[in-house]
Structure formats: structure tokens, C-alpha cells
Structure 1
Amino acid sequence: MSDAEDIVHDVFVSFAQSADRIKLSGNLKSYLLTCVANRSRNKNRANQHRKSVRLDEAESAVSHSKTPEQWLICSEELSRWSKTMARLPYEQREVVILHLRAGMKFREIATLQDMSVNTVKGRYRYGLNKLRSILNGEVEK
């Protein structure tokens, strides 16, 4: 099964197990879509964490081919990028990561987050502008 199918399956199983405790005041379809979107976001966060751990492992595996100076520069750059991304508002950071790292199209992100494509594009644009201004500010210092 693919990750998407796993997520949908998990949501339906979870819903079936707790259906007697859930009091829906709105649309069931909207509720389930929100659950799937939230579960997807959680899985993406977990995958990003695992990828960063794997990246650290990969870096340590290749570290023998780099000089200590090169290793230090790479480590500092990764740290700087990580800190810079953390300074973005969550909504912008999520769109930037989903588009650049996960390779998702704006339409896919809009569907996942239940918002318009223009809102997603705006968050992406504002996120990139903020990244640019943060990094330019660091260069000027």
C-alpha cells in the first residue's frame, strides 16, 4: 500500500473504533478529509525528521572524503538553513517545504490544506521573500 492509502486506511480504522465517542456537528466528509490532511501533515513531519537523521548519517558516512574545513563549512550551512527555515511562519514554511522538498504542485498542496491555489502561491511567495530578506540581512551584517 502507498503512504496515502495507509493514511486513509488508518483514519477510517480510527474513526470506526471511536465512532461512538465522536459527536459530529458538521459534514462527515469534511471531518474525514480534515483527519486525513492532519494525519498526512503528521506523517510528513515524521518523515522530515527521519530524513534529517538519514542526512546526518549520510554526511557522517561521506565525511571521510571531505577535509575538516569543508566539513565545517557544510555543517554551518546546514545549521544556518535549518535556523532560517524555522524563522518562517508555520503556514509559509509548510508550503515551501511541501513544494521544494516534497515536490508537490501548488494544486496538490491546496487540496491537502483545503484552501485556494492562490492562497498557497501567496504563502509560498511570502515565504521565499522572507527567506531572502533573512539571508540578505545575514549577508549585510
Structure 2
Amino acid sequence: MNVQVLSDQVLLNHYLSGDRSAISKLIERHSRRVKDYIHMMVKDCDVADDIFQETFIKAVRVIDEGRYTDNGKFLSWILRIAHNQVIDHFRAQRQNKSVSEAEAGYDVLGTLKLSERTVEDSMVCEQIERDVRALVELLPSEQREVVIMRYFSGLSFKEIAEQTDVSINTALGRMRYALINLRRMIKEKNLILS
């Protein structure tokens, strides 16, 4: 039987029935797209290869545990796992180093335009960074994803739309609502971000 005409679900069924080579064929089918996505996000070949391996290890584990439910969108599902692995990578990096203003996303709110920093300024900036990151984590998942992809990963709205499988207008709308929600939360919590 020709592997190219087998659907992802058929290959998954073959794998679950004991054909261990079927998962290799499935991974091979989608490897280029997943690798390209990861590399575009992390911009480092070695890190991208590690995340790629972690992505498919996690996917196989979920499949083996019977937690994968096919909805005809295996590629979207595997890209979502890859995206989460990339976010985990950036979180781990963030914990190991300080974050610059641009990476922290201060441009989201159009504040903090300091030319020289004193010790006090640095302490204030660190607090603002923690506050902004905490607020971003409170956003609905679709809005949080767009903010992270735009301001922490530096993707264009076109790239965000392609990666999340939505239109550019939807990505822009999610960003708009994210900014509205961030401003509302800042006002409700009486935060001063300057």
C-alpha cells in the first residue's frame, strides 16, 4: 500500500495496532513543517533540533497513553505541541537570564522610555517586567498566544496567522482585545508602569 495516500489517522491506527514503522512515516511526513516552525521561532539549529525531538517524544507519549483524539488535524495538533515546547524553552531561558526591555514587551503599552538607568530605575523596571508578565499570563489563551508570539518571539502578524491557522484579521483582533484587557487589568489593579 502506498504510504503517501494513507491518511494520518490510518497511519496512527497502524501504529496503535503494532506497526511501529507507521509512526516513523507519520513523523517523516510532517517533520519539515514542524522543524521549519520551530527553527523560525528559536532561530538556532541545535536548539530547534532538540525541541523537534522533544515535540515528537511528547506526541508519541500522548498517543501511547490513548489521550490523542483524531479530529483530522494531526499537523495542527503536532504544531501546537511544538509551539508549547518553544514557549517552555523561552520560559527556561528567561529564568536563567535577565530580560531586556524589548523582550519584556514594554512596547505593548508604549511606556518606559529611559535613556540612563540608575539602581532605582533597574528595580522599578524589574517590578514592571514582573507585573506585565503576570498580566499577560492572565489573558485568555488565544490572546496570550498572540502577545507572546508578537512581542516575545518577534513574529509578524502574517507569521502569527500562519502558525495559529487563523486569518491576519483574527490575529490582529486578538492582539487588540489583549491590549484592551491588559489596560483594563492595569487600571483595576492600580498598577503604575512607569
The TM-score with structure 1 as length reference comes to: 0.66
1:53 maps onto 2:96 in alignment: yes
Relative distance call for 1:115 and 1:77 in structure 2 (3 A) is: same
Relative distance call for 1:94 and 1:19 in structure 2 (3 A) is: closer
- Contact 2:54–2:85 (CA under 8 A) maintained in structure 1: no
Tell me how far 1:48 sits from its aligned partner: 3.0
- Contact 1:85–1:131 (CA under 8 A) maintained in structure 2: yes
Aligned twin of 1:35: 78
1:132 maps onto 2:183 in alignment: yes
Q: Which sits farther off after the overlay, 66-75 or 77-86? A: 66-75
Tell me how far 1:43 sits from its aligned partner: 1.7
**CA-atom RMSD, angstroms?**
3.6
- Contact 1:110–1:116 (CA under 8 A) maintained in structure 2: yes
1:95 maps onto 2:146 in alignment: yes
Structure 1, unpaired ranges of 5+: 57-65
Relative distance call for 1:76 and 1:35 in structure 2 (3 A) is: same
1:115 maps onto 2:166 in alignment: yes
Relative distance call for 1:20 and 1:126 in structure 2 (3 A) is: closer
- Contact 1:11–1:32 (CA under 8 A) maintained in structure 2: no
CA deviations over 1:14-44 (Å, ceiling 9, x no partner): 77899898787554xx303421232222222
SS at structure 2 position matched to 1:103: coil
Q: Which has the higher helix share?
A: 1
Relative distance call for 1:8 and 1:44 in structure 2 (3 A) is: same
Q: Percent identity?
A: 26
Relative distance call for 1:118 and 1:10 in structure 2 (3 A) is: same
Structure 2, unpaired ranges of 5+: 1-34, 40-47, 100-116
CA deviations over 1:93-112 (Å, ceiling 9, x no partner): 11011112211112211221
The TM-score with structure 2 as length reference comes to: 0.51
- Contact 1:96–1:124 (CA under 8 A) maintained in structure 2: yes
